């Protein structure tokens, strides 16, 4: 059976496609000499790998966790009848590949992509001479260079502290699509609850003069449609909806949307919800919502960055919701579109981040790859109603420097110009400036509920406070975006790593629960606080401060944690 057989991009789906997951020829190129040896022509590929799993993972069949600065893949594919017909295009899509990826088809070089976390594509039509395509892909990943974002991937041989096993090369689905010569490239939605409508902006290829039609459905019933002519390969239309069904927290009502560009049909969906940040609170559909978030690292014991199956994606969301959380910080990793789809349909609110750790932010050249990929992240994920905010950077030490302040403001302005409707945090947990962030958030791993509560009580009176972290910047904090991290390993109290160290480890489950209750209640009862994010959903390798073990067994009574997390917050109506 093909691993991860489901269509990888549920918000932009075509029916005419081939899943290329499964066995590929594979070579590790530690000396990075593959291009000189012309591996893309007729090279030696001594290994076999199972995609979409990275070579560090058990599921890949390789399981090599040493540094691999370059890897190669090869597979020959026979195309279905009709794909090579004149007037049609064949597109190779790669869900994600870390970090610099190059592609050859039938020995012809097609180009490269810089970035390790988002989907990219190459039109391979002109490289096809028959109905067979020999696809060769190389990926170079120099994670210790400081010039690329790596997130939580370890820069040492072994994992340590909160850095884990690396992911090299391809780690999401690879697939082929066949489209007409004119086709839809990408779309952007902007719902308006007040006007009961949704606007659609489409970027197309070879489509000037063609007609784009968009039809919305709810529960199978057509509820609105619009058509426009494409001009200069762009089109904008607006669908007035005959029925309004609001997407909400815990109630992910979704409309289906069918886009057709004279024969190129794309199946999509959207949600109707309003979002506003004011008075230090997030208002969804006009109602203040306390964000009860969990920190989700998105690591799996057997697949590392890649979930072994779709059920694993869904299960992590439901595990969080079962404990009373209503969303997550998707932390230091760009999560795959199918995960975001399940967030959308379950009404699970999330923050979109980039994997900024590992990036030398004081080097001007480091932004050459980061900024273009941040744009690709925004373009790929902006239509998900579950995403309520963007945070490109986490704990960036250089943020205090004046020249970096300029960059933070530019980053905010760039993000807001593309997506003015979502909240924005410049550098989570560390230094903030009023002109570069919408929200002042902080990270505070104080394990004492009493001192934790007292530190933030002045927020109720509109005062500023100084959090207990290394930056100690006084400010109007409303979002505790990391806290807790309470060390608990039910199997071996001397194993692993956690916040506060072993000296702060609770002596019993009962002590853990009381500490957790005190920290959470302090924030829910604080009229100046509107969001928290507990560290973390699961253990990851040696880090043992999860509410679940790494293999997803609950450490504590789920109902007890749920009763704590779902207490009514002071800001809620």
Per-position DSSP letters for 72-105, written without gaps between them: EEEEEEEPPTTTTSTTEEEEEEES-EESEEEEEE
Q: Give pLDDT, residue 406.
A: 83
Provide mean pLDDT across the span 559-572.
Answer: 97
What is the token pair recorded at 430?
């560390």
Q: Give pLDDT, residue 399.
A: 61
pLDDT digits (tens, 9 = 90+) for 286-331: 999 999 999 999 999 999 999 999 999 999 999 999 999 999 999 9
Provide mean pLDDT across the span 267-289.
Answer: 97
Alpha carbons 349 and 343: distance in angstroms, whole number:
7
Rounded to two decimals, the pTM is 0.96
Q: What domains can you pick out in the chain, each with its CATH number?
A: 17-180 (2.60.120.260), 183-275 (2.60.40.10), 288-565 (3.20.20.80)
Residues 6+ apart with CB under 8 A from 253: 218, 245, 246, 247, 271, 272
pLDDT category at 546 given cuts 50, 70, 90 is very high
Contact status, residue 282 vs residue 273, Cβ threshold 8 Å = no
Written as one string, the DSSP assignment of 436-480 is T-SS-EEEE----HHHHHHHHGGGGGT--B--SSSS---B---EE
Contact status, residue 49 vs residue 72, Cβ threshold 8 Å = no
Per-residue pLDDT at 397 exceeds 90: no
Q: Give pLDDT, residue 98.
A: 95
Question: Which of 273, 274, 272, 269 has the alpha carbon at shortest distance from 216?
Answer: 269
What is the token pair recorded at 216?
């919305």
Q: Give pLDDT, residue 497.
A: 85
Give ∠ CA 496-502-506 in degrees, rounded to 5: 110
Q: Among 76-90, 415-429, 451-465, where is mean pLDDT lowest?
A: 76-90
pLDDT category at 361 given cuts 50, 70, 90 is confident
Phi, psi for 339 (deg, rounded to 5): -65, -45
Give ∠ CA 546-548-554 in degrees, rounded to 5: 145
Residue whose pair of structure tokens reads 């990408």 in the numeric block: 186
pLDDT category at 492 given cuts 50, 70, 90 is confident
Question: Which of 20, 18, 134, 19 has the alpha carbon at shortest distance from 83?
Answer: 18
Alpha carbons 61 and 302: distance in angstroms, whole number:
10
Q: Among 57-71, 245-259, 389-403, where is mean pLDDT lowest?
A: 389-403
Provide mean pLDDT across the span 242-247.
Answer: 98
Tell me the angle at which helices 402-418 and 367-381 cross, rounded to the nearest 10 degrees.
30
Q: What integer best gives the mean pLDDT of the chain?
A: 94
Q: Give pLDDT, residue 502.
A: 74
- Which residues on adjacent β-strands are paired with residue 535? 484
């Amino acid at each position: 059976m093909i691993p991860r057989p489901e269509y990888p991009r549920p918000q932009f789906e075509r029916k005419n496609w081939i899943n290329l997951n499964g066995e590929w020829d594979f070579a590790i190129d530690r000396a990075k000499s593959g291009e000189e040896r012309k591996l893309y022509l007729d090279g030696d590929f001594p290994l076999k790998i199972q995609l979409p799993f990275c070579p560090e993972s058990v599921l890949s069949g390789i399981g090599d966790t040493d540094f691999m600065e370059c890897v190669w893949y090869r597979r020959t594919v026979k195309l279905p009848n009709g794909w090579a017909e004149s007037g049609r295009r064949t597109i190779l899509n790669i869900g994600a590949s870390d970090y610099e990826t190059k592609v050859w088809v039938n020995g012809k070089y097609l180009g490269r992509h810089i970035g390790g976390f988002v989907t990219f594509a190459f039109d391979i039509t002109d490289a096809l001479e028959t109905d067979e395509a020999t696809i060769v892909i190389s990926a170079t990943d120099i994670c210790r260079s400081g010039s690329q974002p790596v997130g939580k991937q370890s820069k040492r041989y072994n994992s340590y502290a909160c850095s884990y096993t690396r992911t090299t090369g391809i780690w999401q689905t690879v697939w082929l699509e066949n489209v007409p010569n004119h086709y839809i490239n990408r779309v952007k939605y902007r719902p308006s609850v007040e006007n009961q409508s949704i606007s659609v902006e489409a970027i197309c290829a070879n489509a000037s003069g063609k007609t784009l039609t968009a039809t919305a459905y709810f529960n199978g019933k057509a509820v609105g449609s619009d058509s426009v002519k494409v001009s200069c390969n762009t089109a904008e239309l607006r669908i007035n909806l005959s029925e309004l069904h609001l997407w909400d927290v815990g109630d992910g009502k979704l409309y289906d949307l069918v886009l057709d560009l004279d024969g190129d049909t794309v199946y999509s969906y959207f949600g109707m919800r309003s979002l506003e940040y004011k008075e230090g609170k997030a208002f969804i559909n006009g109602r203040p919502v306390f964000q009860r978030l969990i920190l989700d690292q998105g690591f799996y014991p057997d697949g590392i960055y890649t979930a072994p199956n779709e059920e694993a994606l869904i299960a992590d969301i439901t595990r969080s919701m079962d404990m009373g959380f209503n969303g997550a910080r998707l932390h230091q990793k760009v999560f795959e579109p199918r995960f975001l789809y399940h967030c959308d349909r379950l009404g699970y609110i999330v923050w979109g981040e980039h994997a900024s750790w590992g990036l030398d932010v004081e080097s001007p050249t480091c932004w050459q790859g980061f900024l273009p990929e941040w744009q690709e992240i925004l373009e790929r994920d902006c239509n998900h109603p579950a995403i309520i905010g963007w945070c490109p950077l986490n704990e960036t030490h250089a943020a205090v420097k004046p020249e970096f302040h300029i960059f933070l403001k530019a980053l905010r302005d760039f993000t807001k110009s593309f997506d003015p409707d979502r909240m924005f945090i410049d550098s989570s947990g560390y230094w903030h400036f009023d002109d570069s962030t919408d929200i002042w958030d902080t990270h505070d791993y104080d394990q004492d509920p009493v001192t934790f509560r007292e530190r933030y009580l002045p927020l109720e009176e509109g005062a500023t406070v100084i959090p207990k972290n290394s930056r100690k910047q006084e400010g109007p904090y409303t979002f505790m975006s990391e806290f807790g991290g309470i060390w608990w390993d039910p199997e071996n109290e001397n194993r692993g790593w956690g916040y506060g160290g072993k000296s702060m480890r609770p002596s019993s489950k009962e002590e853990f629960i009381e500490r957790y209750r005190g920290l959470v209640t302090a924030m829910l009862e604080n009229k100046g606080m509107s969001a928290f994010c507990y560290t973390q959903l699961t253990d990851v390798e040696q880090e043992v401060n999860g509410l679940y073990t790494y293999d997803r067994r609950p450490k504590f009574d789920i109902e007890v944690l749920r009763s704590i997390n779902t207490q009514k917050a002071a800001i809620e109506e």
